[in-house]
Structure 1
Amino acid sequence: MLWIGLFALVVAVGCAYLARAAHLRARAMESTEAVSAAELRALRTAAVEAGSAGYFRYRCELTGQAAPHKNGALRSELEGLECVWHRHRITRKYEETYRDGKGNRRRRTRTETMSEHSSPTAFFVQDATGRTVVRPGGAEVVGAEKVLDRFDPHQGGGGGRLRIGPVSLDLGRREGTIGFQREEWIVRPGSRFYVHGEAADADGRLAVTAPAEGGVFVMSVKSEAELLRGENTRVAGFGVAAGLAAVGGCVALVLALVG
């Protein structure tokens, strides 16, 4: 009973943390000014004229359509689809032998991520007044279109290496492989796009990216209203879970101490 109580309290702390994180994201989006591409350029121009070129920092959010950067559209790594952003994940499913608490040999199925990558290439968010560069870094895009979700049984062979499209995986001495799950997400040119982050010109070029000193950075094909509904739902859900787990944990600890 003691361990059950302690575990429940750990769960309560975790749920409380997730509820607080969702609350902070929601409040950050609600309190940040939405600007157009032209308004953002005007703010940066005023900063340059005031002698602050290279030091411009402005928390903002923009809405428009995703458009390829100057070098043209990208191609997703697994499906080869035209996009402005892509992400993939390849997961290995395998069986392994282990010994249980009584020393008996047993088999279990597990997974490990073999390859995961998000494109860091900059692209534009374009509205009626112009376009703004967005630098995604390694961040994900909320609601990105999932264009691949397939499991392929492992056929063996390959000499310790497996090639899936342009991705080469080093299997090494891994044994018991059942197969590989392939997943890929993209943002197509022309998709509705929302970004919440920090506009800066540290390298002399204006772009929106993750805040340099930490903070909320959100890229999404969903609208701000949809994102806020989701965050508020998470706040309520995790908050209730945290409260129930805390009460249950305290009850279990009391029973363990008086039992």
Structure 2
Amino acid sequence: MWIAGALLVVAAVAGFFYMRHTKSELHAMIGTETLSIPELERLRGISDELGAKGSFRKVAEVVGAAHPRPEGLLTSELSKTECVWYRYQIERQYETVEYRDGKRHRSKRTEQVANHTSWEGYALIDEQRRTIGVDPNGTKPDGVEQTVNRFEPYRGNDGSPVLFGFTLPQFVLGNNSTTIGYQYREWVIRPGRRLYILGEVHDRIGPLVIGKPENGGHFLLSTRTEQELRDDRVKRHKLLAVGVIAATLIGIVLVVADVLT
């Protein structure tokens, strides 16, 4: 019983730190000003006049529509969707057989085969066709469109390493008869999708770019509005607070009860 109690206490500690992170994100959104691209260009101009060309830094919120980089649109790996950003994940589902206490036990498990996020930058464009670069920096955007969520059974008898149009490494397939199949998931941001970004605007490469703060801080990228994100963080913080208190109390009770008995 004390093990369950200890696990609940550990979960409560993890929940407490996640709650603090959620509150910090909320405060960052409340305390950061939303600036237009012309306003950011004006501030960058002042920085240049003061002799700090290439050293402009400003934490800000920017809103606009996703726009492709000069080289053009990307094509997602699984669905072949034209986009400015994509991510895919492939998981292998398999069955294992274990012998315990003289009995045969079957269990289903999952392992990750591939997980890739596009690294190429793109841009935000406003109503006047002015743009600011976006450095995604491997961040997983919030609320993006899912283009693929499909399970493909594995047919080992055909010996084909291609499943759902995607070539898997040979060592993954092998001759493992316990493989059940593969779960494919993919997410994209299409051009024109409205985005909210909180990050650090800089001019290190010349044009203005918003990305992850160089010296730490929050980098939020979402298809939802700022108000929707704020409401989500408030709700999450309340639920976490209740969960942390409950897990702590129940965990302590279980540990104490076990000690006393």
| Alignment TM-score > 0.5, same fold | yes
Distance 1:252 1:121, change over 3 A: same
Separation in structure 1 between the aligned mates of residue 213 and residue 109 of structure 2, nearest angstrom: 37
Contact 1:162 1:169 (8 Å CA) reproduced: no
Do residues 95 (structure 1) and 59 (structure 2) align? Answer: no
Instruction: Report deviation, 1:104.
Output: 3.3
Farther off after superposition, 214-223 or 162-171: 162-171
Structure 1 residue 76 displacement after superposition: 1.0
Moved more, 40-49 or 58-67: 40-49
- CA distance, structure 2, for counterparts of residue 58 and residue 99 of structure 1: 60
CA distance in 1 between counterparts of 2:107 and 2:194 reads: 43
Match of 2:244 in 1: 242
Match of 1:218 among 214, 217, 220: 220
Taking the aligned partners of 2:157 and 2:134, their CA distance within structure 1 comes to 42
Change (3 A) 1:99 1:13: farther
Q: How has the CA–CA distance of structure 1 residues 43 and 165 changed in structure 2, closer, same or farther, with 3 Å as cutoff?
A: farther
Q: 1:40 to 1:158 in 2, by over 3 A?
A: farther
Give the structure 1 partner of residue 210 of structure 2.
208
Aligned to 1:63: 63
CA distance in 2, matches of 1:69, 1:36: 20
Identity %: 34
Unpaired segments ≥5 residues, structure 2: none
**In 2 relative to 1, CA 232–169 (structure 1 residues): closer, same or farther, beyond 3 Å?**
farther
Q: Measure how far apart 1:52 and its partner are.
A: 1.2
Residues 200 and 158 (structure 1), Cα distance of their counterparts in 2 relative to 1, 3 Å cut: farther
Q: Which amino acid aligns with 2:201?
A: A
Cα displacement (A) at 1:237: 0.9
Tell me: CA distance 1:51–1:99, structure 2 relative to 1, closer, same or farther (3 Å).
farther
* 1:75 Cα deviation from its structure 2 partner: 1.1
**Match in the other structure for 2:136:** 136
Whether contact under 8 Å (2:132, 2:207) holds in the other structure is no
**TM-score for the superposition, normalised by structure 1:** 0.93
Per the alignment, in what secondary structure is the counterpart of residue 141 of structure 1? coil
| 1:166 positional shift | 5.0
Q: Bigger shift: 156-165 or 113-122? A: 156-165
Deviations 1:123-166 (A, max 9, x none): 11111352110010211111111111110100115768445535
Q: Deviations over 1:216-249 (max 9, x none)?
A: 1111111111111111111111111010000001
**Structure 1 residue 172 displacement after superposition:** 5.5
Give the conservation status (yes or no) of the 8 Å contact 1:115–1:169: no
1:9 paired residue number: 9
Matches within 5 A, 1:87-166: 87-100=87-100, 102=101, 104-129=103-128, 130-156=130-156, 161-162=161-162, 164-165=164-165
Deviation sequence 1:55-82 (CA, Å, 0-9, x none): 2211111011111111111111111111
Contact 1:151 1:179 in 2 (8 A): yes
Superposed CA RMSD: 1.8
Separation in 1 of the partners of 2:247 and 2:211?
37
2:84 pairs with 1:84: yes
Contact 1:163/1:169 (<8 A) preserved = no
Deviation at 1:257, TM superposition (A): 2.3
Q: Structure 1 residues 218 and 103, CA, compared in 2 at 3 Å: closer, same or farther?
A: farther
